Amino acid sequence: MTATILPGQPHIAYQGSNLCMENVKLSDVAAQFGTPVFAYSKASMLSALSAYQRGFAGRKAQIHYAMKANSNLAVLQVFAQAGCGFDIVSGGELARVLAAGGHPSKIIFSGVGKTRAEMKHALEIGIGCFNVESDAELEVLNEVAMSLHKKAPVSLRVNPNVDPKTHPYISTGLKGNKFGVAHESALQTYQRAAALPGLHVVGIDCHIGSQITEATPYLDAMDRILDLVTDIEAAGIPIHHIDFGGGLGINYNGDTPPAADQLWHQLLAKLDARGFGDRQLMIEPGRSLVGNAGVCLSEVVYIKPGEQKNFCIIDAAMNDLPRPAMYQAFHQIVPLSPRTGAATLLDVVGPVCESGDWIGRDRELNVKAGDILAVLSAGAYCMSMSSNYNTRGRAAEVLIDGHQVHLIRDRETAQITFQGEHLV
């Protein structure tokens, strides 16, 4: 008997009474590598990617994986081998892409605070595009490029001022956000960019937020961006590529985001209707490529009944799974081998000394100490946001491919967490 637990995620399913990822029993992963451990399904990542590829069939389009969602080298390798470029936000991410075999020309560099040193390195290796976010950054990039006798390829990240209807911390395209140049002043900034000798204007981009579950904000942002492209080109500045960013949501808890191919069917229809159908397109998906491809396995350490609440204390914590503490985010939590019998209402929490250290509240679970739980939808913004708080070593990570389990990150020892520190 096979029973999938997340709609549309055939790669994570119960086979009999064992939760499996592809052809691997997750209890075997926990036994072999210990807990907490993150497991990612390669087939699930590639199937998420293929939805975008189907959507763009026959178009000039490049998918840049927004690697801050999950930046493990082996995950990057999977996407590089599948033809993806990368959207990076730091010099550290640049180093990772290169270590994973990504091609410099397929790298785009986003972020509001690029330093001169980061710009210099990116120019030296010849990245595809800088997504510039302010007038001040434009001036600095021009200086750095001139000092290297190069022309930096630039796109301006425009803030289209549309509401993505998501959590405020992951809304990025509203007037009050720190990201991008204002729609109203974008033409002026383009004229400035075109006049600077160290820059070569190649595109325009936007990224309106994350965990977006409706098509409307994308359609609105596209209209706003295309209006601008018309104005910018009328001013004599050709726009070679249009980059619509990332942000498509995933199903965490009955969320119903559009499928990537269906979303792009609608967006491309608008693009065609407005006469921009033959443009070079770019996108920067992160969460939607990896989020539901990953689980975090964690052992129940104690069951602690309380007067008001019962607690299930697990060996993963907010340092491993920061999304609940940061955004009150929801992750489904399921046992690897469900017990028969009645469930209890429990708060699933970690051992960290913070009341914010909870992973799931008011969950119906029938568990005992020693059981292993799977925290679902843990492929994006979990390990990449993890920390060593409470001197907890980061979890191990494995990549599952059919019957094979590859260790792709060692569990951190305590020594590693204080390596580089010095007694005086």
Nearer to ligand PLP, 41 or 110 (CB): 110
Nearest distance, CB of residue 265 and ligand PLP, angstroms: 18
**Strand segments (E) across 150-278:** 152-159, 181-182, 199-205, 241-243
- Helix 135-147 vs helix 116-125: angle between axes, to the nearest 10 degrees? 50
Q: Which CB sits closer to ligand PLP, 33 or 381?
A: 381
CB of 293 to ligand PLP, least distance (A): 13
Q: Which of 284, 347, 371, 401 binds ligand PLP (CB under 6 A)?
A: 284
> Rounded to whole angstroms, how far apart are CA atoms 314 and 30?
14
> What is the rounded CA–CA span in Å between residue 154 and residue 190?
10
Report the residue from 11, 42, 68, 409 that binds ligand PLP according to the rule CB under 6 A.
68
Angle at alpha carbon of residue 225, lines to 223 and 231, rounded to 5° = 105
Identify residues 371-390 at the interface with ligand PLP (CB under 6 A): none
Cβ-based nearer residue to ligand PLP, 241 or 287: 287
Closest approach of ligand PLP to the CB of residue 236, in Å: 27
Q: Which of residues 166-225 bind ligand PLP (CB under 6 A)?
A: 207, 210
Could you tell me which stretch among 118-126, 182-190, 278-286, 390-398 binds ligand PLP (CB under 6 A)?
278-286
Residue of 35, 70, 72, 110 that binds ligand PLP (CB under 6 A)? 110
Kindly state whether residue 288 participates in binding ligand PLP, applying the rule CB under 6 A: yes
C-beta atoms surrounding 101 within 10 Å:
11
Residue 315 binds to ligand PLP (criterion: CB under 6 A): no
Burial (Cβ within 10 Å: 0-12, 13-18, ≥19) of residue 40: buried
**Contacts of residue 324, Cβ cutoff 8 Å, sequence gap at least 6:** 318, 330, 331, 358, 359, 360
How many CB atoms lie under 10 A from the CB of residue 32? 12
Between residue 134 and residue 163, which ones bind ligand PLP under the rule CB under 6 A? Answer: none
Pick between residue 251 and residue 288 the one whose CB is nearest to ligand PLP: 288
- Cβ 141 to ligand PLP, closest distance in Å? 16
Max distance between CA atoms of the chain, in angstroms, equals: 72
247 sits near ligand PLP (criterion: CB under 6 A): yes
Closest separation in Å from C-beta 271 to ligand PLP: 19
Please identify which residue in 37, 49, 69, 352 interacts with ligand PLP, judged by CB under 6 A: 69
As measured in angstroms, the least distance from the Cβ of 402 to ligand PLP is 26
3-state secondary structure of 404: strand
Binding region for ligand PLP (CB under 6 A) out of 65-73, 148-156, 323-331, 398-406:
65-73
Tell me the three state secondary structure of residue 62: strand
Binding segment toward ligand PLP, per CB under 6 A, in 239-247, 255-263, 362-370, 413-421? 239-247
Binding to ligand PLP by residue 285, rule CB under 6 A?
A: yes
Q: Which residues are catalytic?
A: 353
Binds ligand PLP by CB under 6 A, chosen from 198, 286, 322, 360: 286
The half-sphere exposure of 174 on its side-chain side, counting CA atoms within 13 A, is 13
Task: Give the integer Cα–Cα distance in Å for 285 and 170.
Answer: 14
3-class DSSP string for 272-337: HHCCCCCCEEEECCCHHHHHHHEEEEEEEEEEECCCCCCEEEECCCCCCCCHHHHHCCCCCEEECC
- 41 sits near ligand PLP (criterion: CB under 6 A): no
Give me Rg for the CA atoms of the chain: 23
Taking CB atoms, the residue at the shortest distance from ligand PLP is 286
The secondary element (H helix, E strand) that includes residue 61 is: strand 61-66
The distance of closest approach from Cβ of residue 73 to ligand PLP in the complex, given in angstroms and rounded to an integer, is 18
From 153, 245, 335, 360, residue interacting with ligand PLP (rule: CB under 6 A)? 245
Q: Which residues bind ligand PLP (CB under 6 A)?
A: 66, 68-69, 87, 89, 110, 207, 210, 245-248, 284-288
